[in-house]
Structure 1
Amino acid sequence: MPRPRSQQISLDDTPYYHCVSRCVRRAFLCGEDAETGRNYEHRRAWVEKRLLFLATIFSIDVCAYAVMSNHFHLVLRINKDKAGTWSTSEVLARWHKLHKGTEFTQQYMKGELQSDFARTLVEEAALAYKKRLMDISWFMRELNEPIARRANLEDTCTGRFWEGRFKSQALLDEAALLACMAYVDLNPLRSGISDSPEKSEFTSVKKRINSLKHQSQPTGLLPFIGNPRKDMPDGLPFLLLDYLELIDMTGRIVRQDKTGVIDASLLPILQRLHISSDNWLCISTKFSQYTSSVVGGELSISQYCQSNRRLRKPRQGCAKLFA
């Protein structure tokens, strides 16, 4: 029986999560259907546009994404500190971009005079909305439901578009985060629908490369801010150029179907994260096969299991790959 989402997502252990949603029907509803010949490629743009829009509203950062033919991958970070700075007005303004709210919240945002009772209801609503705006389940709901309705309207049919539950994995440390991001960004290459990172449509790595050409980092994605140090700004604890080089070199190995030692230029970042070069290709291209609901080194997993006693210990192969 699947565990409740509340038991799978714990901010006390990690803010980073890998999420996957898949289409429930057999046809490639976001790509080209080989059986009918119809092309649904434009729906991948729907997912990407909606995802980046939600990133501007939720207190959830997008680290990486890849929209494939019949599923998509996300690496998300719950930004609890960001939500903590929001005023009642900001929470309501953000929520009203998604839903109407209540009559009282609408009155509050218009600056209309309200009774003490109405203001109390507004504060209670704002508190509930704030919790939703830092909840991955709500994020995935707001992403998936509009896409499903739009696709069903286009197909003139009813019924489920996505599977009932999205899959989520807790990424417990930097090594797990890096490996999962690389796995997500390399998905189009591994699947054979792209031959280079910069040509991988509807992925975070292509968006980052395009922005780098203009000496910037893309809006809507959590920025790279360099290696861990004192008084770090908010962002991913890696150098962007190191990450892109890692993706490029790993992608070359994937495309050429090679095995063996990774180029020496990749070793510094892998050594810092205690990932052997022999294991890197395995975890960056077969992440889902070797990982379970939690991903990280042996120490990270052990600490997670101790703080979540109802969780059975994940497969041993995962921790060994990060050793």
Structure 2
Amino acid sequence: MARPRSTLVSVEDTPFYHCISRCVRKAWLTGVDKYTGQSYEHRRDWVETRLLELADTFAVDISAFAVMSNHLHLVLRVDIYEANTWTDREVVEHWHRLFQGTDITQKFAKGQVVEKFEVNSLKHSIAQYRSRLSDISWFMRALNEPIARMANKEDKCTGRFWEGRFKSQALLDEAAVLACMAYVDLNPIRAKTADTPELSDHTSIQLRIKSALNGEQPDALLPFVGNEQKDMPKGLMFSAKDYLQLVDDTGRSIRDDKRGAISSTSMRLLQRLNIPQENWIKLTTDFSRLFKGPVGTLEELDAYCEHLERKRRQGAANCHQWLDSA
């Protein structure tokens, strides 16, 4: 039985989540339908454009994404602290980028006088919007619903375009986050739709590589900020250069025709995470098959399950086998 989203998402335990949306029926999200020969490649632009728009609107950061032929992978980071720093006006302005709001919030956004009897309603709406703007379910809703409407209109049909619910799993520690990001970024290479990460269209790794060529990081993605230090900015606790090297090395290793050794730089990163090379290749090849629930070491998994009062530690054996190795 599917669990309520509230029993899966616990920002107190981790802000990072791996989300997957899959298409229903035989419709394709993108790519070329092998049955009809029709191309849906333009829909990749729909998804990526919407994603980047949402990243600028929600207090939810995109760590990694890959738009595949009939499904979408995301690694998201929820930032409730950012949402709490927004002023009431900023909250309303963010919300109105995507939704109409109410007559009262529209008046407030335009600087018009809000009557006394409307103040409580306005405060309630602002509190609700602030919460939703740091909510994964609302993020995925704001992504999937417009894409579904556009695809149904193009296909001249009605009904669901996506499966009833997107899947999400908590990423409980650094190793889980990094492995899941690499797994997502290497999707096109595993599917043999791209030969290298830089040729993997509509993926976060391609955006990161293009920016790295100019000595930069993409504004729309959660940045790498290096090793943890005092008063450090928000971001991933790794070096961007090291991550790009690790993904490139891993991509070469998992391809049958491009077997290559993991470089010394990548090995140092894996040693920091306490992950043997063989485990890393398995994680970045079969992440979604290995883990159906939260991902992390047994210590992190125990804390997560205890906090959410879950008696069953889903996937504990695989977490121990692939992430607890010394």
Establish whether TM, by shorter chain, passes 0.5.
yes
1:17-41 Cα distance to aligned partner (Å, 9 max, x none): 0000000012433211000010001
Counterpart of 2:38? 38
Deviation at 1:261, TM superposition (A): 6.5
SS at match of 1:295: coil
**Alignment pair present for 1:9 and 2:9:** yes
CA distance in 1, matches of 2:246, 2:257: 17
* Structure 1 stretch displaced more, 251-260 or 274-283: 251-260
Deviation at 1:263, TM superposition (A): 3.5
**Alignment pair present for 1:168 and 2:179:** no
Cα 1:217–1:260 change in 2 (3 A) is closer
Map 1:138-287 onto structure 2 (within 5 A). 138-256=138-256, 262-287=262-287
SS at match of 1:294: coil
Letter aligned with residue 219 of structure 1 = D
Question: 1:79, 1:134 within 8 Å by CA — same for their partners in 2?
Answer: yes
Question: 2:29, 2:71 within 8 Å by CA — same for their partners in 1?
Answer: no
Counterpart of 1:319? 320
Structure 1, unpaired ranges of 5+: none
Map 1:107-122 onto structure 2 (within 5 A). 107-122=107-122
Counterpart of 2:90? 90
Question: 1:19, 1:167 within 8 Å by CA — same for their partners in 2?
Answer: yes
Question: 1:261, 1:277 within 8 Å by CA — same for their partners in 2?
Answer: no
Give identity over the alignment, percent: 53
CA distance in 2, matches of 1:189, 1:229: 34
Deviation at 1:113, TM superposition (A): 1.5
1:212-234 Cα distance to aligned partner (Å, 9 max, x none): 11221112101110012222211
SS at match of 1:72: strand
CA distance in 2, matches of 1:33, 1:312: 40
Deviation at 1:84, TM superposition (A): 0.9
Counterpart of 1:66? 66
Counterpart of 1:298? 298
Cα 1:218–1:259 change in 2 (3 A) is closer
CA distance in 1, matches of 2:229, 2:56: 27
Deviation at 1:191, TM superposition (A): 0.6
What RMSD over aligned residues (CA atoms) do the two structures have, in Å?
Answer: 1.4
1:149-179 Cα distance to aligned partner (Å, 9 max, x none): 0011111111110000101010000000000
TM-score (norm 2): 0.96
CA distance in 2, matches of 1:26, 1:217: 37
CA distance in 2, matches of 1:292, 1:260: 29
CA distance in 2, matches of 1:277, 1:305: 28
* Structure 1 stretch displaced more, 32-41 or 291-300: 291-300
Question: 1:54, 1:139 within 8 Å by CA — same for their partners in 2?
Answer: yes
SS at match of 1:21: strand
Deviation at 1:81, TM superposition (A): 1.0
Deviation at 1:136, TM superposition (A): 0.3
TM-score (norm 1): 0.97
- How many residue pairs get matched? 323
Question: 1:276, 1:322 within 8 Å by CA — same for their partners in 2?
Answer: no
Question: 1:297, 1:320 within 8 Å by CA — same for their partners in 2?
Answer: no
CA distance in 1, matches of 2:257, 2:297: 27
Deviation at 1:260, TM superposition (A): 9.4
Structure 2, unpaired ranges of 5+: none
CA distance in 2, matches of 1:7, 1:251: 34
1:184-232 Cα distance to aligned partner (Å, 9 max, x none): 0000000110000000000000001011112211121011100122222
Cα 1:106–1:26 change in 2 (3 A) is same
Deviation at 1:310, TM superposition (A): 2.5
SS at match of 2:154: helix
